[in-house]
Each structure stands twice: as C-alpha cells, then as structure tokens.
Amino acid sequence: MTSDITYDLIIIGGGPAGYAAAIRAGQLGKKVVCIEMERAGGTCLNWGCIPSKALLKSAESFQAALHSEVFGFSCKEIEVDFEKVMGRSRKVANQMGGGIEFLFKKNKVEYIVGKGLVHAAGMVEITEGEKAGTYLKGSRIMISTGCKPRTLPEIAVDGKRVMTSREALAMTEQPKTIAIMGAGAIGAEFAYFLNAFGTKVTLIEMLPKVLPVEDAEISDALHKSFAEQGIDCRVGTRVDSVEVGENGVSLTLGNDEGSESLEVESLLLAIGVVPNLDGAVSEKLKLDTVKGYLKVDENYETSESGIYATGDIVGPPWLAHIATYRAIQAVNGMFGHSQPVPVDAFPGCTYCQPQVASIGLTEEKAKEEGIEYKVGKFPFAASGKAVAVNHSEGFVKVIVGEKYGEILGAHIIGSDATELITEYGLAMKLEATVDEIHGTIHAHPTMSEALAEAAAAAHGEAIHI
C-alpha cells in the first residue's frame, strides 16, 4: 500500500538527530514524518544519555549521604534498593520520551513507530510495526539511524554475565564484581556508578590513560581520583581472552609486565560504537560510505540526490549535541532557510565524579601542531564556593595562544565541569580572548570564578593562587 501523502521530509530514526530534524522541519511549516523503531528520543534519551545521568545522580546522592558528617550531621544504616535506583532511571527516560512525542504533536510532525527502509530517492517502505507494508513518498529523505554498541564477535551478550551499556541500563541486580572494557566516557561513568554503590570495579583500557581523548593532565587526575575511590584502573592493558561461565567471567589480562587472570561476576563492554544501518537502506541502493558510515557533503546530502544523513550515522564525533546540531543545520539548508554551518569547536563531557569537560585543543595537540601557547590553571581547592560545598577536587585548565591570547582549548575536572564548560565554548564561538574572560565580572562565590581565575593565571595574574 502506498500512502497518498507526499511528504516534504521523511526521517528514519527518532534520536537526537532525527527528532530535532523533524521538529525543525515542522517549525518551518513542512509536511514531515519521523519513523522510529522504539520510542521517540532514540538511544540517547531511552538507553543512553538521560537514564545514565539519572543513575549517576543516585550514586552522587548516596555518596553525599555516606559522607554527610562533613556538613555536621550523619546518615546511618542507609539502605539501597538497587532495583528502585534502576527503575527511577527508566521513569525519567519514559517521561522525556513522552515530552518528545508532545513536541511532535505541537509541531505537526507525524510519528510512526516502526522500521523504515529506503528503496530509492523519494520512497521509503515501513517494514516493521503496525504500518508494515506501507510505502511513503517524499521529496527528501533523511537517514538518522545512529550507532549501536560495539561487541566482540566471540562473546555473546546475554545481559547478565556480558553486557553493553544498553543491557547495563536495564540491570535489576547489582553485580558484586565487574570488569569494564574501555575507559572512555561510557566506561568511566559506569565505573563510578557501580563503585559508588559498592561493586568492586576493574576498569580496563588498552591505551595509556583513562579518557584517552582528554588532556593528559585531566586523565591523570581522574585516574588518581578513581583509585582513591577504590576503582582498579588498568591502563595500557589488553584483554587477551574471555571465558563466560554460568556463575561468572574469567579474563586474561596482558601488558608489558606479563599477564594475569581476573575473575568477575559480569563484564561490561564499553569499547565504542558501530554504524547502525541494518535494514535501513535497500541492497539495490548504493550509498557511498566511509568505514561503514554514510558519506555526506557540506549540505548533509549523501551520494544519492534527495537522500540526506545526519547524526552519528555520518561518523564521529558520536555526541548527542553534535547530532542535534548537524540535524538542524541540514534541515535549515535543505529548505533554504540558511546555509549549513560546519561543526567547529564542541564540548565533550563525562559525568562521573569528578566530572570532566573539555573543548578545543589539548596541550598535547597544541605541541604536536607546533603552536606557541601558554597555560592558565586554577584549582578548585582555592575556590571559596567549592570548599564551602565540599567539592574542592579538580581544576580548570585553559590553553591560550601565546601571541594574541586566543582560547585554543579549555579543560575542566571537578564538580559541575559539564555545566561550566559552556562559558569557554561561547567565548571560543565569539573569538574572545582570555583577557575578556578575565575581564568579565563573575559572581562571588561561584564555581564559575575558577574560569576567570584560570584565564588570569595564563598571564600570571590570578588573585587566589
């Protein structure tokens, strides 16, 4: 059956790229339909960014209660209902999913729960769901099917002994011991969450540091903090073998010093993502790809005219805020509202405690590119607000051009780092210098004062260190 409606835009995928594109197209008065297999919001909202942050807040609250004596009172015999902790995260995700569905209605976006298959430019088949067998016609198609967790071919994911982030977000029983492969943002966040509630965590990373993409000084600080919290961080370490048994998982770890065995209840794979194009594009339709990701031009159009792609499916960086940005740029461009602006500097955030956030160049990258730079640093231990609220761990680090004082990069580790990074992001967008950050009056006492002090420190003018 072919629908008698011709859409201005058919979107496959309802994650941060797909739903944002649909809403933006609706704002522009276009006839748009969004097809999503599960629930509006995609992986990020339902099985990633949002529910994981709910879990992390539970972990932070529990740790705050355990250490409440610093504020002059104590909480004794605290009981944790792990199933309720996990259940709250699902409620948060469901609430936000309902919010996206409301926005679809508000902006007159048609929403189909099902699976879409692109046969050719202008033609999409619904292959699963209540409308399976229906063909949709549209002048433009956007593929925003995102990514899925990378797994190991020889290890079956069963949701108990072996998990990816998706299965970990649906746990009802807390493992007593767990090994986490991969110390990127996902691995670090789950390591913090589970350790905070008492799980013995071994965090394993092949590269020489945790959070490998971050500035080395930041990574070293997080490694030290994790170790103090009781997380066993094994960097520069391989997983040479994995054997899954009925009651646990046996791993053989290897590094320059030799090998050792590790026995744990569960294994969490946090080793990256792979493109998710399964069943989204007809075998007869040959779209250009790069390492499995859809190749697009500056307008987000694929090699087939009239078929666009945005979000994680076009490749790194695999971040929800980048997916949304790309999607809005693509829609504005395809309908002649404005020329798409390419992704430039963008924040990266990890929501463990202490939090980590960064934008722009690391110090290592500045050296590699032969850039003349200087560094401004300010520790939260010298911040009155940070000490008052018992969050004095960490520091702000800004990389500054030697000649003009332009902000090349900013790196923060500490409480609220993921909120604070935005000021430096805006400064870089406006091409501000550290002098303008320093010259902006920051309220006292606030955590944000550390941003101004770090900027001042680049010139040796910080007041409080």
For residue 392, give the amino acid letter.
S
Provide the 3-class DSSP secondary structure of residue 381: helix
Half-sphere exposure of 351 (CA within 13 A, CB side): 17
The phi, psi pair for 78, rounded to 5°, reads -75, 125
- Nearest CA to 298 out of 333, 335, 251 is that of 333
Query: Any idea which residue has 């007041």 for tokens?
Result: 463
Following DSSP, what letter does each residue of 183-234 receive, concatenated? -SHHHHHHHHHHHHTT-EEEEEESSSSSSTTS-HHHHHHHHHHHHHHT-EEE
Burial letters 37-56, b for 16+ CB under 10 A, else e: bebbbbbbbbbbbbbbebbb
Half-sphere exposure of 260 (CA within 13 A, CB side): 8
Beta carbons of 145 and 313 less than 8 angstroms apart: yes
- DSSP bridge partners of 126: 116
Q: Cα(21)–Cα(143) distance, rounded to whole angstroms?
A: 11
- Count of other CB atoms within 10 angstroms of residue 350: 25
Query: Any idea which residue has 């965090």 for tokens?
Result: 203
Q: Cα(219)–Cα(294) distance, rounded to whole angstroms?
A: 32
**Residues with catalytic roles:** 444
Q: Is the peptide bond before 316 cis (omega within 30 degrees of 0)?
A: no
Query: Any idea which residue has 């606030």 for tokens?
Result: 446
Q: Cα(291)–Cα(289) distance, rounded to whole angstroms?
A: 6
Non-local CB neighbours of 122 within 8 Å, separated by 6+ positions = 137, 138, 139, 141, 306
Q: What is the CA radius of gyration of the chain?
A: 24
For residue 166, give the amino acid letter.
R
